[in-house]
């Protein structure tokens, strides 16, 4: 009898063991299998939230089929202590394993709202944006000019004070150091004002994620450090026999390239015109942006056409006592950079295209026509004037103004 009972007990144990093993295998399969989410969602995890609460929220949103299995999987996998507050994009069909990784991979928001300050050459704009989880694209909710003196829209304070809002500063190529400082000083999530305007050209134009409470000086130091590294690396790999001797001169040349064209493939060509003129030694550079910088010294934009008195250097001399930047009036490079050049312009400056170009002018389509001789350049200018005349006769927009070195 006892032998019979023992045999039955052993059989029952084996059955239970197989059932348990089957349940584990089923659970493992469900844990890593595609989930039921039909389209991407934005999941917000509040500060102090628990995995139980997150599991319930995911279940309510249709992202998981079993809150219990999700809790067991995150507990067994060691995810529970790694849960971070934030907003996370959960893609359609994400498995429970993938979701657990998304909400614990370091707390970086992949969804939700962000405020971006875009510092440009002609204006600075603050954008309040929200990520559409389905398309993966940001939708602008509001925008304003932080330098206008007007109060931001009410939505701004609400979004700014959310714990999961992210912040970025985007500095465009061709901005001046003064413009960057003015914009940063107006960003209320940054601490303090700049103690000084950094030297022109030394701030790297790019995208900077920021954290509220960061000081303006600290952010400027980060920009300067990145630009210094970019310039050092480019200078190390420079072409031989350049007609300038220092990284600072390369930065100056790069800033002119940056102001003359925004088309990536044209930057080495514009740089070649500069380099070819410097090598000749008997041609001044004659670039319009240097006239403008000589007048403004980077503090704002020149809101009028260039006049003959500007070209003659009279305006720069009257305002500043001497001509340091107007390349129609001085030989060689100006006294220093005229803007903050981006990495592509810096690399073009130290590795210009090998051409015999000495001139270029706008081609009427947004780009430039390059020429090696004055005769060819004059034909390009005549072609541009014809395009401009046709556009004016047809009521269209004016073609781009002259974008390069004039004939001497």
Q: In what order do the strands lie in the sheet with 137-144?
A: 137-144, 124-132, 113-119, 166-171, 207-210
List C-alpha distances in Å: 179 to 121, 133, 143, 151, 175. 8, 34, 19, 20, 6
SS3 171: strand
Confidence of residue 26 (pLDDT cuts 50, 70, 90): low
Q: Are 247 and 229 in contact (CB under 8 A)?
A: no
Other CB atoms within a 10 A radius of the CB of residue 110 amount to 19
Q: Are 162 and 86 in contact (CB under 8 A)?
A: no
DSSP secondary-structure letter at 236?
H
**pLDDT, position 25:** 59
List C-alpha distances in Å: 149 to 116, 124, 152, 365. 18, 12, 9, 37
Q: Are 302 and 259 in contact (CB under 8 A)?
A: no
Distance between first and last Cα of the chain: 117
Q: Tell me how far apart the alpha carbons of residues 193 and 191 are, in angstroms, rounded to a whole number.
A: 7
Q: What percent of the chain stands above pLDDT 70?
A: 89
* Cα 191 to the center of its chain, rounded Å: 22
Q: Are 51 and 104 in contact (CB under 8 A)?
A: no
When the pLDDT of each residue in the chain is averaged and rounded to a whole number, the result is 88
Confidence of residue 46 (pLDDT cuts 50, 70, 90): confident
Q: Tell me how far apart the alpha carbons of residues 407 and 328 are, in angstroms, rounded to a whole number.
A: 11
The pLDDT tens digits of the residues spanning 303-362 come to 899 999 999 999 999 999 999 999 999 999 999 999 999 999 999 999 999 999 999 999
Fold of domain 33-109: Dna Ligase; domain 1 (3.30.1490)
Return the sign of the alpha-carbon dihedral for residues 302, 206, 253, 176: positive
Q: Are 85 and 162 in contact (CB under 8 A)?
A: no
Burial class (CB in 10 A: 0-12, 13-18, 19+), 29: exposed
Confidence of residue 24 (pLDDT cuts 50, 70, 90): low
Confidence of residue 84 (pLDDT cuts 50, 70, 90): confident
Check whether 11 has a pLDDT greater than 80. Answer: no
Check whether 400 has a pLDDT greater than 70. Answer: no
Check whether 273 has a pLDDT greater than 60. Answer: yes
**pLDDT, position 397:** 42
Question: Any residues with CB less than 8 A from the CB of 75 and at least 6 apart, and which?
Answer: 51
What's the chain's Rg over C-alpha atoms?
31
Question: Any residues with CB less than 8 A from the CB of 29 and at least 6 apart, and which?
Answer: none
Check whether 143 has a pLDDT greater than 50. Answer: yes
Q: Taking residues 190-202, report their average pLDDT.
A: 97
Phi/psi at 293 (nearest 5 deg)?
-65, -35
Burial class (CB in 10 A: 0-12, 13-18, 19+), 84: middle
**pLDDT, position 108:** 59
Q: Are 248 and 226 in contact (CB under 8 A)?
A: no
> Which of 2-16, 46-60, 162-176, 394-408 bottoms out in mean pLDDT, i.e. has the lowest?
394-408
Q: Taking residues 387-394, report their average pLDDT.
A: 84
Could you tell me where the DSSP H helices lie in 33-112?
Answer: 51-60, 67-76, 96-102
User: Where along the chain do its domains lie?
Assistant: 1-27, 33-109, 113-231, 239-393
């Amino acid at each position: 009898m006892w032998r019979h009972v023992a045999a039955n007990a052993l059989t029952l144990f084996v059955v239970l063991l197989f059932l348990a093993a089957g349940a584990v295998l089923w659970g493992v399969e469900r844990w890593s299998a595609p989930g039921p989410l039909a389209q991407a969602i934005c999941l917000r995890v509040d500060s102090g939230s628990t995995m139980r609460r997150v599991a319930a929220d995911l279940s309510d949103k249709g992202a998981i089929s079993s809150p219990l299995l999700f809790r067991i999987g995150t507990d067994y996998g060691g995810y529970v202590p790694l849960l971070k507050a934030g907003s996370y994009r959960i893609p359609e069909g994400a498995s429970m394993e993938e979701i657990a990784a998304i909400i614990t991979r370091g707390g970086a928001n992949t969804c939700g709202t962000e405020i971006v300050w875009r510092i440009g050459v002609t204006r600075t704009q603050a954008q309040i944006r929200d990520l559409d989880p389905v398309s993966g694209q940001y939708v602008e909710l509001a925008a304003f000019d932080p330098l206008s003196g007007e109060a931001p829209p009410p939505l701004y304070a609400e979004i700014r004070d959310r714990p999961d809002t992210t912040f970025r500063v985007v500095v465009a190529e061709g901005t001046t150091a003064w413009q960057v400082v003015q914009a940063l000083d107006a960003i209320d999530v940054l601490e303090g004002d700049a103690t000084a305007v950094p030297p022109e050209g030394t701030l790297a134009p790019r995208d900077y994620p920021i954290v509220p409470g960061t000081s303006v000086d600290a952010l400027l130091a980060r920009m300067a450090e990145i630009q210094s590294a970019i310039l050092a690396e480019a200078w190390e790999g420079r072409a031989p026999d350049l007609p300038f001797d220092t990284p600072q001169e390369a930065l100056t040349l790069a800033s002119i390239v940056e102001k003359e064209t925004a088309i990536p493939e044209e930057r080495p060509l514009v740089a070649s015109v500069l380099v070819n003129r410097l090598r000749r030694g008997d041609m001044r550079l004659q670039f319009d942006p240097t006239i403008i910088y000589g007048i403004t010294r980077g503090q704002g934009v020149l809101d009028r056409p260039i006049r003959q008195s500007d070209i003659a250097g009279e305006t720069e001399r009257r305002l500043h006592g001497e001509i340091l930047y107007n390349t129609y009036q001085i030989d060689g490079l100006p006294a220093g950079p005229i803007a903050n050049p981006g990495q592509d312009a810096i690399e073009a400056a130290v590795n210009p295209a090998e051409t015999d170009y000495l001139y270029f002018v706008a081609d009427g389509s947004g780009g430039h026509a390059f020429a090696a001789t004055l005769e060819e350049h004059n034909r390009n200018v005549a072609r541009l004037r014809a395009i401009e005349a046709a556009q004016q006769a047809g009521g269209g927009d004016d073609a781009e103004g002259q974008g390069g070195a004039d004939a001497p």
